[in-house]
Amino acid sequence: MLSLLDLCARIDDGRLTPEGAVRLVRAAIAAREPEVGALVCVDPAPVVAAAGPLAGIAVGIKDIIDTADLPTRMGSAIYESWHPRADAPVVARLKSLGAAPLAKTTTTPFAFLDPTATRNPHHPGHTPGGSSAGSAAAVAAGMLPLALGTQTGGSVIRPAAFCGVVGVKPSFRLLPTVGVKCYSWALDTLGLFAAGVADAAHALALLADRPAIGRTHDGSAPRIGIVRQEFCAAPDPEAEAALGRAAAAAERAGAVVHDLALPARFGEAYAAHGTIQDYEARQALAWEYAAHRDALPPRLRAALDAAQGIETAAYDAARRTAHHARRSLKDVFSEDGPDVLLTYAAPGAAPAGLDQTGDSRFNRLWTLMGVPCVTLPVERTPAGLPVGVQVIARFGDDGRALAAAGLIERALRG
C-alpha cells in the first residue's frame, strides 16, 4: 500500500516531486484497476500543487461527494451525466492543502446496500464491502494513499476491515457533509481510508484543522473496555480471534484491558437505527423515488417502499431512544471508566461473492452515537482475507481513538 506520510516525507526532502508522486499513483492505477474496478473515473489532467502539506497526494473521492472537475454519479444511471459546478467543502479543503482529487471511487447506488462491481483486492471473488467500496479497495490495492468515504450504517469501518486498511469514521460533523448526497442527515458521516493509523491521523488532523488529532504517540497507556455487543448476533470465529489478539497486543503495550457489558439501553438504540435511517432516506431521496422509482436498484427500491409506512411518531420515539443512549454513553466513558472501547469491526472476513456488501451490525450503534471509530487490520484468514477490529472513543475525542489504535498497531507489528 502507498503510505501518505512516506510520500510526504519523500517530497519534503526532495527525493520525489509532487508531480512524480502523482505519476506513481497513476502507474499503480494502471497496474491494479483492471483487476479491482475501484474507480469510476480518473482526472486526465489534474492540477498538482507545488506546495502545501498534502502537495502531491492523490486522493480518491467517493462518488456521492461533489467535485467540480469530475462527474458525481451517485452509483446510479439516474445521475450518469451529472456534473456539479462546485466542490464539496471537504474537496475544497483538500485542494487548499495541496492535494489532488484524482479519481472518483465507486459507491453502491446512493450509498445503500445494492453492491458495486468492485472486487476485494485480496481475493477477487469476495466483496470489498460497501458502500464506500471503491475507496477502501483502492487504498488496499495500493492505488491511492488516501480516499474519502461516508458512513450511515457501517460504510467506512466495515469495508476498511474487509480490505485490510485503516478506516476512520470521525465524530459526527467533524467534517462537513455539505455537497455530499444525503441519505440520512442524522447519521451520514464523512470518513477516510489510509494505509496506516499515522497516515489516517495526519490526514484527518489536516482536514479538520485540528493538529492534536495527528499526535498518535502520546505515551500514555489507555484503559480499554472490550465490548462484544451481546444484543447483536455473534460474530464469526475469526472476528473473535482478531479481537482477542488485539486485546493481548494492547496489554503487551501497557494498556489496562477489561471486558465491558453495555447496558440494555444501547440494545434499544441499536434497534432504533433503522427507523431513523429509513425515515430520513424516504425524504432525502423523495425526488428519485417519485420520478425514477423503476430505475432504483432492488434493495434500495424495496427499502424506500417499506419506508413510506414509517410513522412520524415512530421516528420521534427512535430519536428519543438514541438521545438517551448518547447521554448514557457519557457514563460508560466516566472518569473511572475506559478511555476507549475495542470491539468487532465486522462479523468476520469479507463474504464470498459480489452480490452483497456484508453485515453492518457491529457498526450501526456507533454511527448512531456519533462517536469516533477507527478500523485496525489485525490478521488474515488462511484464504488471505483481512480481519480487523474497531477502536471507539467518546464524542469529540478522535485523537484518543487514533492514539489507542496506533498503540495496538505498533504492538501487533512488534
Choosing from 135, 155, 171, 360, the catalytic residue is 155
- Note whether 17 and 11 are within 8 A (CB): yes
Place of cell 455537497: 179
Q: Is 131 a catalytic residue?
A: yes
- Note whether 270 and 296 are within 8 A (CB): no
Q: Is 155 a catalytic residue?
A: yes
Give which of 126, 112, 122 is closest to 154, Cα–Cα. 112
Q: Is 328 a catalytic residue?
A: no
Q: What is the DSSP letter of 108?
A: -
400's enclosing H/E stretch is helix 398-413
234-241 contact pairs (CB < 8 A, 24+): 235/344, 235/346, 235/347, 235/348, 235/362, 236/347, 236/348, 236/349, 237/348, 238/348, 238/349, 238/379, 238/381, 238/387, 239/344, 239/345, 239/346, 239/347, 239/348, 239/387, 240/344, 241/379, 241/387
CA angle 35, 39, 42 (to 5 degrees): 120
Q: Give the chain's end-to-end CA distance (angstroms, integer).
A: 19
CA distances from 26 to 57, 143, 175, 256 (A): 12, 8, 27, 44
> What gap in Å lies between CA 185 and CA 100, rounded to an integer?
28
- For residue 390, the cross-strand partners are 343, 375
Choosing from 62, 104, 169, 181, the catalytic residue is 62
Place of cell 466513558: 333
Q: Check whether the bond before 131 is cis (ω within 30° of 0).
A: yes
> What gap in Å lies between CA 158 and CA 178, rounded to an integer?
23
Choosing from 76, 95, 131, 181, the catalytic residue is 131
Give φ, ψ of 346 to 5 degrees.
-160, 165
Active site residues: 62, 131, 155
